[in-house]
Structure 1
Amino acid sequence: IQKLHRKMAKIEGENIQNKRLVETLETSLDENEINLRVAKKQLHILQREKTELIEQTKTLRSQLDETTAQFEYARTSVYQEKKDIETILEEERKAKESAEKARRQLESRMEELMAKKSKFMC
């Protein structure tokens, strides 16, 4: 009977330990479930933020592409306009040189005629 009492006491002690262990495990499980729910909420928030940031990045890339295209168009236009102005200035310079040459020739011819006229008058 004493053996049975000792065995029973031992089993009751083990039972109490097992109950404590089960309670600890249940508490740990509850905490882990709460942590899992919190982590899932955070994951959902982060996924939503990621999606928003991806969309924002796409929008900014699109704006950058559009601005770059506008800049390239403006740069090309300015370059072409500069070439046109340089061409016009070169043509005007040549025309001015030609007119100056013609004026000098005309003055030279006038001087010759005046010299002949002076000789003729004398």
Structure 2
Amino acid sequence: MTKTYFTDDHEWIRVEGDIATVGITDYAQEQLGDLVFVDLPEVGATLAKGDTAVVVESVKAASDVYAPADGEVTGVNDTLSAEPGLINTAATGDGWLWKMKLADAGQLDGLMDETAYNAMIG
């Protein structure tokens, strides 16, 4: 079963088993504007919850994307190196940033569901 969570920092994390796919929300990409560069983590890197995992740069500013939980990076969306604008057009789909093996799924308990996230940005 797949479940999606959201953070206060506008990341989404879609969990299937112990593997999570992470990206930024549609709201976040709208605030950033047209993305021109994405600095992805290295596969095999260990992230702690709250670590800067990715830096996205837009025509407006650079912004950090934080790890929503502890884990090891198992994959990155290499397509974004050539097409960072994919995040603008498909933030919660093909514009995902990285995949990670969760170290402690219990850390997800403090995150929001979609209803709570939409109320926060509402």
Greater helix content: 1
RCO higher in structure (CA 8 A, sep ≥6): 2
Judge same fold: TM > 0.5, yes or no.
no
Greater strand content: 2
Taking structure 2 as the reference length, what is the TM-score of the superposition?
0.12
Taking structure 1 as the reference length, what is the TM-score of the superposition?
0.12
Q: Say which one has the larger Rg.
A: 1
